[in-house]
Amino acid sequence: MIFLFSLVGVDRVEVKGTDAGVLILVKFGEKLKADSIEVFKADKLNPKEKPISLGKIIYPETLLIDTTKTKGEYLVRVYYGKEKFDTGWITVKLENPIPQKASVISFDTSKTNILIGILLFSALFVFLLYLARINPRLYIRRIAGLDAIDEAVGRTAEMGRPIIYTTGIGSIDNLAILAGLTVLKHVTRKSSLYEVPVLMPNNDPLTLAAAREVVKEAYLESGRPDLYRENDIFFLTSEQFGFASGMSGLMQRLKPGAVFMMGYFYAESLILAENAHVSGAITTAGTTSIDQLPFFIASCDHTLIGDELYAASAYISRNPLEVASIKTGDWFKALSAIIISVGSIFATLSIFNPQFGEVVRIMVNALK
Amino acid sequence: MQRQGPVIVVILSALFSTITFFLKGAEDIQTYALIVAIVISGFALLLGVDSLILYHMRNIQEGKNTLFSGVLIISFFTTVIWGFFAWWRYGSPFAQNSTFMWLFLNVYLPLDATMFSILAFYIASAAYRAFRARNFNALILLITASVIMIGRVLYSNIVFPIALSVFLFLAGLWIFTNTRKLYGSELLFRRFLGGFLMGGAFVILLPPIFNFLGGNISALTDWLLSVPQNAAKRGIYLGLGFGQVAFALRIMFGIERSWIR
């Protein structure tokens, strides 16, 4: 297979697979000559591997051969003055490729620290589970946004309007969206007490299927399966701004009493929050997307910040098993704060005594 | 079993993903698992299309938002038919000379860009509400945000002293013209004169304040973004990380089941 290109300063670049390997043949321009040509190789199936430079071709050289015969894509970059031009990534089929060795599966030692961290976390979790069984009244601090759910549902019932609930953009493989579905169950249970309809436009079909099940289950648990209407949980669009536009239209037409935005959001977050505000609804938001948090804090009545969304189901249910997992996270946060503080103090002291700097270096290497 | 089946699948999948994460040479297995997930989500798209059409058909039947639902149904089928036609006629709906591409570039993209550009106005209205100095925290937010906004514009080192001078002058003017107790005069001209003098005094104090800040607003902006803002951000990141692990463990151990029926 041969690929031919013509770029500034180069009449012809030929990339072809041969028995010897991959050949990159260059014919420099007659009038305009490129300063140099660099060839890169990358394995696009393995994005963790960064592209490597195979070398440069400088006039009067015209040839570069990659004899490794390993899988990969090639990119030819032409340097002309201050400018550079790329051919784009090219997949070259080799005439007689070396058969790939069966990869040996082994433990990745570079991830030992992560494994230790997870094992410690799990051990502490099991210990706190045990504590929670003995004393089910484990303390969790107040989360104002979740306390406001009852108030928002009550107000909506008084106004005789529906609730609009969204988990944002993304599929069910996103933990924030799963956490959003757990809050949905609580909101639906509360709303069933006052017969307030919960409308949920969806951006993803998988989330739609899960949301329907969650809502159906919530109505069943509260003894009102008759309130479930499949059409209330519907698919809007998978396009980001189409979704924002559809949601805005719904809010403006229906004037909901409360809007809940619990899940994962991108640039559409502010469009949703502002439209909800303009429609006169009580707005409660929760997201793990740090870039969108300021928008929600600025424009919503209540906001769950970061991991508060993950804690929501435990906070609502007060199930000791779930509370134990929240406590584990809190203990680890405290531990991290101690390590960071000690590291900061030692790093500052290293100005006076370099030995403290050595301690900081050891700490950083251990955590890397 | 209807309830336990999915939970068992989730637990096994989670264990599989966790174990392969720690293994070297298991990348191909992970890739295949990812392909399976993509295939499943492809089938789920049919569910989405089904829901979309049924929802709007029912709206038309019930006479609710008939116009909007009608437009959606017509647009949906027009796009699908047009896409298939372009596929047959040009080899791909997204070929450069395809009429479907024309539809995409001249109808879809402008609509998408319009929604995105509306964001600018929403930012302004949200900023107005957020920056009202109702309490001390909001005042800090207002000052910090103003410094960063000015620090990010072109020629910020020239704009900042001018903006600060105008702000201080107006602040002085406002204090004197609105606070009778401070000046005690009913005459608007005298109150205005007092305000003018106080605003002027603020402006005279400006050069030492500006020098105290290092005389470089861009450096101050960078410091605000890289030190106090980053510290808060990293705190949230840490909490998120541990929160995610805790939530994932709850799902893996089957404790958290509210997402399933």
Mean pLDDT of B185-201: 65
C-alpha to C-alpha distance for A91 and A15, rounded to whole angstroms = 10
Spatial contact of B171 and B202, defined as CB atoms under 8 Å apart = yes
A329 contacts in B (CB within 8 Å)?
Answer: 239, 242-243, 245-246
To which residue do tokens 């697979």 refer? A17
Dihedral (Cα; A18, A24, A29, A33), 10-degree rounding: -160
pLDDT at A22: 81
Residues 6+ apart with CB under 8 A from B159: B150, B153
Question: Strands A233-235 and A198-202: what pairing?
Answer: parallel
Spatial contact of A336 and A318, defined as CB atoms under 8 Å apart = no
Spatial contact of A181 and A212, defined as CB atoms under 8 Å apart = no
C-alpha to C-alpha distance for A96 and A21, rounded to whole angstroms = 9
In which band, very low, low, confident or very high, does the pLDDT at B211 lie, cut at 50, 70 and 90? low
pLDDT of residue A153 exceeding 70: yes
Mean pLDDT of A252-281: 94
From B110's Cα to the closest Cα of chain A, the distance in A is 11
pLDDT at A46: 66
pLDDT at A325: 87
Strands, sheet with A198-202, edge to edge from the N-terminal-most edge strand? A233-235, A198-202, A163-168, A258-264, A282-287, A302-305
Mean pLDDT of A5-11: 69
In which band, very low, low, confident or very high, does the pLDDT at A280 lie, cut at 50, 70 and 90? very high
In which band, very low, low, confident or very high, does the pLDDT at A247 lie, cut at 50, 70 and 90? very high
In which band, very low, low, confident or very high, does the pLDDT at A226 lie, cut at 50, 70 and 90? very high
Higher pLDDT, A196 or B204: A196
B130 with A213: Cβ contact below 8 A: no
DSSP3 helix / strand / coil % (chain B, rounded to 5): 80, 0, 15
Q: What is the mean pLDDT of chain A?
A: 86
Give Cα A25 distance to the centre of its chain: 42
Phi first, then psi: what are they for A163, rounded to 5°?
-105, 140
pLDDT at B199: 65
pLDDT at B76: 93
pLDDT at B185: 54
Q: B85: exposed, middle or buried (C-beta count within 10 Å: 0-12, 13-18, 19+)? A: middle
Q: What is the mean pLDDT of chain B?
A: 81
B255 with A185: Cβ contact below 8 A: no
pLDDT at A131: 86
Higher pLDDT, B35 or A194: A194
A9-13, B44-48, B106-110, B247-251: which has the highest mean pLDDT? B106-110
C-alpha to C-alpha distance for B131 and B146, rounded to whole angstroms = 9
Of B25, B65, B233, the CB nearest to A105: B25
Mean pLDDT of A193-198: 94
The DSSP secondary structure of A72-136, one letter per residue, reads -EEEEEEEETTEEEE---EE---SSPPPPPPPPPEE-GGGHHHHHHHHHHHHHHHHHHHHHHH--
pLDDT at B142: 83
From A251's Cα to the closest Cα of chain B, the distance in A is 13
pLDDT in tens, A59-86: 777 888 887 777 778 888 888 777 777 7
The DSSP secondary structure of B17-86, one letter per residue, reads HHHHHTEET-HHHHHHHHHHHHHHHHHHHHHHHHHHHHHHHHHHHHTSSHHHHHHHHHHHHHHHHHHHHH
A310 with B27: Cβ contact below 8 A: no
Predicted TM-score (pTM) of the model is 0.76
pLDDT at B32: 84
In which band, very low, low, confident or very high, does the pLDDT at A185 lie, cut at 50, 70 and 90? very high
Percent of chain A with pLDDT over 70: 93
Residue B242, CB-side half-sphere exposure with 13 Å CA sphere: 25
Among the residue ranges A264-273, A298-307, B154-163, the one predicted with the least confidence is B154-163
pLDDT in tens, A282-327: 999 999 999 999 999 989 999 999 889 998 888 888 888 888 888 8
To which residue do tokens 């040479």 refer? B25
Query: What is the DSSP-derived secondary structure letter of residue B108?
Result: I
pLDDT at A345: 93
- Whether the CB of A82 is below 8 Å from some CB of chain B: the reply is no
Residues 6+ apart with CB under 8 A from A234: A200, A201, A202, A208, B51, B52, B55
| Closest of A98, A50, A100, A92 to residue A72, by C-alpha | A92
3-state secondary structure of B109: helix
Give the other-Cβ count within 10 Å of A87's Cβ: 20
Spatial contact of B204 and B165, defined as CB atoms under 8 Å apart = no
pLDDT of residue A6 exceeding 80: no
Give the torsion sign (CA, A170, A176, A182, A183): negative
B256 contacts in A (CB within 8 Å)?
Answer: 182, 313, 322
Question: Strands A90-91 and A73-80: what pairing?
Answer: antiparallel
In which band, very low, low, confident or very high, does the pLDDT at B133 lie, cut at 50, 70 and 90? low
pLDDT of residue A100 exceeding 60: no
pLDDT of residue A273 exceeding 70: yes
Mean pLDDT of A150-171: 93
Buried residues in B3-36 as b, exposed as e (16+ CB within 10 A): eeebeeebeeeeeeeeebebeeebeeeeeeeeee
A216 with B261: Cβ contact below 8 A: yes
